[in-house]
Amino acid sequence: MILAMVMAAAMAQSGEDLRPKELAELDELRAEVRLLGLFSAMQLTKEQSKGLLECAKRARERADALVKENSDLIAEAKKALEAMKAALEKGETVTEEMKTEITRTERESQKRLQEAQADIAPIAKKAMELLDEKQLGILQRFDPTGRRKDPLAQEKEKTRQGLLKVRDASQDDVLIGVDRVVSQFETKTGKLTDEEREAECERLLKIIEKAQGMSEEELAKKVDGLVEEIFTQGRIGEAVAKAGGAAAGGGQPVRAVAEVLFTPRAIRLLEKKAE
């Protein structure tokens, strides 16, 4: 989350990234595709993109300021960690004083982090006002890491594989597949009326038509976004929402906005959408 930046320089404990550069770049590309898929599913307008971009930039500026305001604690935490590191490198015993100082800086960092959250929250609330209830629900169900356990992971992967092959599918196979999908989700949404069923089938067919109109290379890049569109909109989206599952921001809308939309990656992509 963006607020963690406040103490990141002092308290970062993660190990080195041992992945080859090519794999790291691939993971970044995957993250961008997931985020673009979210924007597509939310159906953000240009005006919404501009508004969200403005909020995100304000939040980043405030986060940078908070880092400077907490430079004293960052310096203290760095000094404490360097002292412990030096002792361990020399094979010396880590003293109780060292442990106490690290504990103190960690506790103080948590206290200041809570204060920082109060500073960022109004900006996140302003961003929330730009979204309708449906868009906010889609955002909350989004997994920015791609690693949360998804109760529909198998269904989504089957859908993904089906979309990758749909360019070569006959129209009869497409219609049969769409009917099967809608019937499956009727077990969760309840029996649809003829009008509702027709609307949902038309929605899915439009997504499939998008896939069929893409080149193989383009489809490979955009298929995850199409899957998100299938599972977050329409009656299927309603069924997924009722099923619950892990949500961005731990289920808290304000945190979800900051965690997903107030990142450098989101700002880069929103700048393109706002053009």
Query: Can you say how many angstroms the Cα of residue 172 is from the centroid of all Cα atoms in its chain?
Result: 36
Residue 56: pLDDT over 90: yes
Amino acid present at 46: K
Question: Does the structure show a pLDDT above 90 at 3?
Answer: no
Query: What is residue 50's predicted lDDT score, i.e. its pLDDT?
Result: 95
Name the pLDDT band for 151 (thresholds 50, 70, 90). Answer: low
Give the per-residue pLDDT at 147: 63
Give the pLDDT confidence score for residue 241 in this predicted structure: 64
Q: Which of 59, 63, 220, 241 is nearest to 142 (CA)?
A: 241
pLDDT tens profile 102-122 = 888 888 887 787 777 778 889
What digits encode the pLDDT tens for the residues 229-262? Answer: 888 788 777 766 665 544 444 446 777 888 889 9
Structure tokens that stand for 76 in this block:
């203290």
pTM over 0.75? The answer is no
pLDDT at 140: 80
For residues 112 and 39, which has the higher predicted lDDT (pLDDT)?
39
pLDDT more than 90, % of the chain: 20
At residue 143, the 3 state secondary structure works out as: coil
Structure-block tokens of residue 152: 């529909």
Of these ranges, 52-56, 100-104, 156-160, the one predicted with the greatest mean pLDDT is: 52-56
Mean predicted confidence (pLDDT) in 67-79 = 87
Distance (Å, rounded) from C-alpha 94 to C-alpha 46?
Answer: 56
Q: What is the DSSP letter of 251?
A: G
Given a cut of 90, whether residue 197 has pLDDT beyond it is no
